[in-house]
Structure formats: C-alpha cells, structure tokens
Amino acid sequence: MELDTGAVVIPSGERAPKDYPWVWALVLRGGTPVGDLSVRVESTHRWSEAVLRAAEQHYAHVATRERTPNPHYSPLTSVIIATRDRPAPLREAVASILAGDHEDLEVILVDNSPHGGERATIASMRQTDERITYVWEPSPGISRARNAGAARARGEVLAFTDDDVIVSERWLSSLIGALASHPLAACATGLIAPAELETSPQLWLAMASGLNKGYAGRVFDRNAADLPPLFPFRMGMYGSGANLAIRAAAFTALSGFDEVLGTGTPARGGEDLDLFLRLMLAGQQLVYEAGAVLFHHDHRRVDDALAQRSGYGTGLAAVLTKHMLTESAPTLLRLAPQGMLYLLSPRSPKNVDKRHGYPRIFDLAEMLGFARGPLAYWHSRANHLRMRNQ
C-alpha cells in the first residue's frame, strides 16, 4: 500500500497493518527507493504516522533523485514470464505490468506445464488486453521456457520476471531508462523487495536471499578501475532473473539462457547467474537501477523455504562447475579460498544481514545444496543432451 505522501511503500499482507506489532517499509524519494526500515507499532490506530515519522528521521537527509526518462528511447519491450500452475498470482503479476507507465510493450506468457494447463487462464486474460501472447513450452525448465518466449518476442528489449511478483508502476520504464542512460550497457537489473512478511520463513528468506542489491545505482564493467572482490564470479551482486531487462541483440548473441541450468532441471537454478557472468566475461556492461522495484512473494512454509535455499546452493555450484570446464578455470581455482570465505564468513556481505533469530539450518541447507551442485550439473547436462537427441 502506498501512502498519500508517496514517501513510503508497504507491501500489504492478509491483515491490516494495525494488526501487526511492527511494520517493514520501503522509503522513496522522488519515486526512487532510498532505504528501508522496520518500525515498532505502539498504537494500532496511528501506525502510518509512526512509519512516516521514522522515515523522516532516518532519511530526511537523502536528496531527491527525480527520474528523467529519455523521450528519444522508448523501445518496444517484450516482458516474458514463464509460468506453471499459478493462475491467481500470474493474473496479479500481469495486471501490475500492464498498469505500468511504459506502454509500448507486449507480455509473453510461457506455459511450462506439460499439458498446457494455463491455456484457458491466459486466453481469458488476452480477451481484456491483446498485448498478451500465449506460448506453450511443454519441456520442463525455466531457461527453456524463457528462451521459447524470447523466440516469439518482437521487442528491442526483453524483460524477464516471475509469475509471483507485483511490479511498481515505474518498474519497466526504470529498466528502460537505465539502458538509455548507459548506451553501452547490455543489461539492466532492479531492486527486489518482499511482497509480504507474514511468516517467519519469509522473514528469514528476506535476511538470507540477498535479492535486494541496495539503493544506489551501479555499473558493472570489467574495464573499471575499482573492480569488486571476486569479480566477475560474485554473480549474486549483479541482480536476479526475476528483475532484468536485456537488449534483444545481446540476448541473441549469448544464445539466451543455458537450458542445462534453472528451476525445473536437476541443476535447480543458476540460469540468471550464468547469463550475468557470460555478459561480464564477454566485456559487456550491466547496470543496476534501484528505481526498478518489484515485490516478490517468498515461501511461507519452512520446508518450502529450506528447499529454496538448497536450490540456490545447487544452482550456484552448477554454474561454477560449468565454468570450470572453460578457460575461466585457472581464475576460479585462484579465487576459490576467497570465495569460500565469502560464502561462510559471518562478516561477508552475503551473511551480514542474518540477524538474531535466523536459523542456521537455512545455511546448512544451502551448503548441502552447494555440495550436490557439481553432480547435479552433470545430471542436468545429460538430460539436456538426451532431450535434444530425441
């Protein structure tokens, strides 16, 4: 829910904010996120005042950064969503995209169910907006589904997100604006915030996932003088596949997402990390734009959240295994001790936000998933080759 001032955005859950002992808020200046805060709600009837007062106290010094769209760059953009068995969240996600302020777009919905189970849902959505296109990709795997959507896309820019998100009004125009402001950049990513914090697993995932890459814009370039540690193999710092836009020409040059990787395969993830890494290794620029905000629904249940953390570990290790088979192997071996310190040290950027109460079993699940990653990669690769030969 957005307050009248436009200063604070609070993703709404099932209950009214007055029913909560505390509220998490995303703070905006000039329509752009500048930070977040958690506010203890002392009065159930005056929660909004408490949130606004805390926002002013903590962020009054932050300068307003008005967005300045480039009127000369408003390309047709193809928004591609792979979906399976989630009709209600999909409708909500698509509605938020179509309500955005970048109107020159098409929305390509890729049904990744084996029997076309989303066909009727998407057909009914298309009746109200002809910018929606249905694509059926029965073979499992998010990379395969996204590539199938990209093959049907007409846009100069391809934007990818998930079927369980709510995008902000300026989400797509902010990604496009980032590409316009950085003409050498092939890809732009944005900020992912929690859509709800209804359960403890959702709170723990928000601490651990690292989906929020911060509130300052950044350009990643292998020729920069101040390369971050582990560059370019600290792939999580670039962004996420749930919030990215890439020039169609660059996507084609990279042959799209690697279909050996991603959810729906034994590798379980890593397809976005691999895409970012291949962009960096090819000498391309990538820009992170905090103004491109979307809200993502995390798992509510402990077992689902543990499976997600395990999948993140498996996907990361699968990507590293893939690149160990390339000319990157010597660099990866040299960086391995530093990389393990980054994964395991409580002081590393990966772990510093895991506050009191965070269950370490989540980290154990991720590490066990990481240990399975190399074998999972070979299993997924064998499956992919077998499917291609059928």
pLDDT of residue 48: 77
Phi, psi angles (nearest 5°) of residue 42: -85, -35
6 class by beta-carbon count within 10 Å (0-12 exposed, 13-18 middle, 19+ buried): exposed
Phi, psi angles (nearest 5°) of residue 104: -85, 80
Q: Extract the tokens encoding 129.
A: 């907006």
pLDDT of residue 5: 37
The position carrying tokens 């993703």 is 11
pLDDT of residue 43: 64
Half-sphere exposure of 87 (CA within 13 A, CB side): 10
Q: Are 259 and 225 in contact (CB under 8 A)?
A: no
Q: Extract the tokens encoding 78.
A: 């193809």
Q: Mention the CATH class of domain 77-303.
A: alpha beta
Task: Please list, in sequence order, all residues whose beta carbon lies within 8 angstroms of the beta carbon of residue 73, skipping any fewer than 6 positions away.
Answer: 176, 179, 180
Phi, psi angles (nearest 5°) of residue 283: 85, 15
Spell out a b/e string for 371-382, using b for 16 or more CB atoms within 10 Å of the CB, else e.
Answer: ebbbebbebbbe
pLDDT of residue 10: 52
The predicted model scores a pTM of 0.92
First to last CA, the chain: 50
Q: Are 296 and 209 in contact (CB under 8 A)?
A: no
What does each of the 390 residues of the chain score in pLDDT, given as a tens digit?
333 333 445 554 445 555 677 788 888 887 788 888 888 877 666 777 888 888 888 887 776 665 556 667 889 999 999 999 999 999 999 999 999 999 899 999 999 999 988 999 999 999 999 999 999 999 999 999 999 999 999 999 999 999 999 999 999 999 999 999 999 999 999 999 998 888 888 888 888 877 788 898 899 999 888 888 999 999 999 999 999 999 999 999 999 999 999 999 999 999 999 999 999 999 999 999 999 999 999 999 999 999 999 999 999 999 999 999 999 999 999 999 999 999 888 888 888 878 778 888 999 999 999 999 999 999 999 999 998 887
Task: In the chain, list all ranges with CATH 3.90.550.10.
Answer: 77-303
Check residue 160 and report its DSSP letter: E
What's the gap between Cα 185 and its chain centre?
A: 18
Phi, psi angles (nearest 5°) of residue 345: -70, 135
Check residue 219 and report its DSSP letter: E
364 class by beta-carbon count within 10 Å (0-12 exposed, 13-18 middle, 19+ buried): middle
Rounded CA-CA distance 251/271 in Å is 13
Alpha helices in the chain (DSSP H): 47-59, 87-98, 119-126, 142-152, 171-181, 200-208, 248-253, 271-281, 302-324, 329-344, 361-389
Check residue 5 and report its DSSP letter: T
Beta strands 77-83; 105-111: pairing state: parallel
What distances in angstroms separate CA 374 from CA 7, 312, 316, one per listed residue?
46, 13, 10
